[in-house]
Chain A
Amino acid sequence: MRLSLQLHPADRAIFAILALAVALSVVAGGRPEVRSLLLAHLVLLAGYGLFVLAAVRWSRAGWVAYVRPLAAMWTIFTLYYTAGRLGMAAMPYRADASLARIDTWMFAGINPTFFIQRWQTPARVELFAFFYGLFIPYVNLSLVLGALGRPPLERDQFLTGWVFTYCISYVGYLFLPCQGPGGFFAGSYSVPLQGGFFFALVVTAVAHSGGLIGVFPSLHGGSSLYLCLFDLKTNRLRGLTYLPIVVMIYGATIFLRYHYVIDLVAGTIIAVSCTHWGRWAFLRWARARRDAGLPALPGGEGDVLSDIPADGRDYTAAVLPAN
C-alpha cells in the first residue's frame, strides 16, 4: 500500500516540521541548548512516529479517530515551546529590527507600538490582557469540541487545517527568531505597561511558556482566526460568538507589545490559506483512499462515504455505516 495513502495530511505536516527542527538542530549543533532541543525533537519525532505506526496498523479501530487529534494537539503545543527556543538558540541573528522596520514602513513612518502608548492606561491594559488570556481557553475548548463533537469528515478537515496553520508558523519561529516589540524596544517606551490581575496572569503565563519567543508570525492571531473562520463555515453561531473576541485578541497582541503588526498580517494570511488548503489536502487524500478501497477516514469511519465533495462547498457530507 502506498505510504501517501496511509499518512494523514496532518501527520505529514507534523513529520515535516519535526524533521526540519531536527535538521536545524543538527546543522546548528554544538551549543548545549541546541543539543537538548535536538534530543527533544527526536523524542517527539519517535513518539509521534509510534502513534502513526499504531494508527496505520489499527486503521479501522475507533480510537484512532479520537487519539489522532489529541496526539497532534499535544505534539503541536510542545513544538510551540521547542521550535521557538530552537530558533532563538540556533540562529545567530534576530529578526526584530527588520520586522519593526516593516511596521514603520506600513504605517508611513510611524511605528504603531510607540504610537499607541498614549492610550495605554492600566484599565485598557487590563482589558486587553483579559482578551489576550482568553486565547488559551478558546483554542483548547475549540480543539476538544472540534475533535470530539464534529461529524467525522468535518473533524478531519478541521484538524488538518489547524495543524497546517501551526506547522507553517513554526517555520517562521525557526528561521526568524525575535522577541517582539516589548523585548526589542524594552528601554525605549515612555509608558510602562501596568495592569491588574489579568495582566499579571498573562505575564506569568508568557514567562512559563518560554518567554518572548515565537513571535513571527502571530499564532495568537492566526490560530484564533483559523478557528473562527472554520466555525463561521460550519457552525456560524459559534463563529459569530468568537469573532469579536478574535478581533480583541488581535488588538491585544499589539497593545501588550507581544507582536508587530506584520506578525498579525502573516498570521492572517496563513490562517486564511490553511482554511482552504487544509480541507483541500484532506479531501484529496480521503478521495484517494476511497478510490484505493481503503476506509476514506481512518478510525474505521467512512468505509462508505456517501459523498466526498469535489467542489469545496459541503463540509459535512454524511458518513454512512459500513454495513
Chain B
Amino acid sequence: MPAGPLLLVSNHTNALVDPLIPLIALKRRLTLTGKNVLNKNPLLALLNWGLGTIPFHRREDIGQGADPRQNVQSMRRCREILARGGAVCVFPEGISHSDLKMRPFHVGASRIALDFVHKDGNPGNLQIVPLGLLYTAKGEFRSEACVRIGQPFDAGHWVAAHPEANQEELTQEFRRRIEALTISYENRREMLIVNWANDIVASEAQMPQPLGSTPSRTMESFNRLARLQAGYRTLLADHAADIAALSERVRRYRAELKHRGINPAEVFLPMHPLRAILFLTRELELILIGAPLAFFGIINHLLPYLIVRQVAGRLSSDKDHWATNVVYPSLIIFPLFYAIQLAVAWLLLPVMWAAVYTIALPYTGYYALLYQERVGSAWRRARTFVYFLFRPQTQQWLVAEGQEILAGIQELAGHLEPESAAPPGKERP
C-alpha cells in the first residue's frame, strides 16, 4: 500500500462484510464510507461511530431519511482525511448485490478524487487503488474471501494526462480497473460453464491431496477462473462450435458427478488398498483422538451458534446480507455466552481449572469447526471410495472423460495468445 493520501475503490457484493476485508487485510488505517440509513440500526450506528465511518446519502433512500445535500459535507470530510495523509475506502456501486456483473457506478468517489486534486491542490499526491473482493460462496459459513489489489495510480498524473476528463470518465476508469480484478459474467451460462471447467482443471487429473494438508488455493482458483473466462470469451468468436461442444461435454460430466454425489477432484481417487489403509489410519486417528476436544467445543458453542443461525435466517432476505447477519450478531452473542460461561467457571471451579476452561473455550470452539469439516470431508471421500470400489467401470469412465475434457480445454487454450488471459493486478489472499 502506498503511503500518503489513498483512495480505495472496490466492488460491493457482500454487504457489511466487504468493508471488513480491506480493514483487516490492508496494513493501513482506513476510513470507511457507508449509506446513512445503516445508522437507523443503533448497533450499526455505534459501530460506525466507533470506526469513524462517513455516511453518504443515496437518492434511492430519500424517503427513508436520506438527504443527498449532506453529501457535500461527507465529501469534504473525505478530502480532509486525505489531506491529512489518510486512506478512504469507497464502494462506488453504492449497493451490495449478487448480480453477474457490477452495477452502474456512482460518481462520488471520482468527485472526491477530482476535488482533492483541483480544489485542494493534491497535497501529498493522492494515490487511487482499485480493489477486487471475491468470495468462494458468500452465502455459506466458513467460505473464503480474497482481495485482489490493483496497481495504484496517481490521481495527479491521471488528471494531467486527461485534462478534459470529468468525473464520469474517472468513474469509468475506476470501473475498468475494478472489473479487471473481479470476475463478472455476461450471463448465467457463462458463469456455470466457466466455474465447472475450473473445477475440472483444478483436479489436474491427479490423485487428490490428502485431507487437511491442502493449503488454501482460493486465490489460485480465482486466477484460473479469470484465465478460463478470458479464454472462453476470446474463443467464442472464432471457435464457437468447439466451445459449444466442449461446454456441453462439461455440462454432462458435471451432471453425472452431481447425480452420483462425487466431487470433481475425487474422480481421480486411487483405489490402492495400501492408500486406503493409510487414509483410514490418518482419519480415524484424528477422529478418535480429537473427539473429546470437538465434543467439548460443540457443547459449549452449540447454543450461541444456533441463536446466530436463527437471527441470520430471520434477518436475511437474500444471500447478499446473510454473511453480514452472521458476522455482526456473532460479535455480540458469542462474547456474551463466553462471559456467562467464564463467570460461572471462575465462580465454581478452582483457579487452575477455571484458567484451563478459559483457554479451552475459544480453542475447542475453533477446533470443533475444523473437526466437523474434516469429518465431513473424510466421510465424503470414504463414500466415493466405496462407490468406486463397487463400480470400477464408472470410475474408469469418469477418469477418461475428465482427462479428455482437460485435454480439450488445453487444446483450445493453445489457440490463445499467452498473455491474453493473464489476470492483471497484484493479489493478496
Q: Give the interface of A toward B (CB within 8 A).
A: 141, 145, 148-151, 154, 234-238, 240-242, 244, 314-316, 318, 320-321
Contacts and interface: CB of A to CB of B under 8 A. Distances in A.
Contact of A240 (B209, B215, B281, B366): B366
A314 B215 contact: yes
A154 B210 CA distance: 12
Contact of A241 (B209, B214, B278, B289): B289
Contact of B363 (A154, A240, A320, A321): A240
A301 B320 CA distance: 45
Contact of A145 (B214, B278, B366): B278
A168 B289 CA distance: 31
B367 interface: yes
B210 A141 contact: no
A237 B213 contact: no
A141 B284 CA distance: 12
Contact of B213 (A141, A235, A244): A235
A237 B374 contact: yes
A147 to B, nearest CB: 11
Contacts of B370: 236-237, 240
A149 B286 contact: no
Contact of B209 (A148, A242, A244, A316): A316
Contacts of A315: 215
Nearest to B277: A148
B282 A145 contact: yes
Contact of A151 (B213, B281, B293): B213
A241 B293 contact: yes
A172 to B, nearest CB: 31
A316 B216 CA distance: 10
22 contacts: A145-B282, A148-B278, A149-B210, A149-B213, A150-B210, A150-B213, A151-B210, A234-B215, A235-B212, A237-B212, A237-B367, A237-B370, A237-B374, A238-B212, A240-B363, A240-B367, A241-B286, A241-B289, A315-B215, A316-B213, A316-B214, A318-B206
A151 B282 contact: no
B371 interface: yes
Contacts of A145: 278, 281-282, 285
Interface string B202-237: 001010011011110000000000000000000000
B290 interface: yes
A159 to B, nearest CB: 15
Nearest to B375: A237
**A-B complex: 8 closest residue pairs judged by Cβ atoms:** A241-B290, A235-B212, A237-B370, A235-B213, A240-B367, A237-B374, A149-B278, A237-B212
A234 B293 contact: no
A237 B286 contact: yes
Interface in B342-384: 363, 366-367, 370-371, 374
Contacts of B206: 318, 321
Interface string B184-214: 0000000000000000000010100110111
A222 B363 CA distance: 23
Contacts of A235: 210, 212-213
B212 A316 contact: no
Interface string B263-288: 00000000000000010011001100
A244 B293 CA distance: 10
B221 to A, nearest CB: 13
Given A145-B278, A235-B210, A237-B290, 14 more contacts: A145-B282, A145-B285, A149-B282, A151-B209, A234-B215, A235-B213, A237-B371, A237-B374, A240-B363, A241-B293, A241-B367, A244-B293, A316-B209, A320-B204
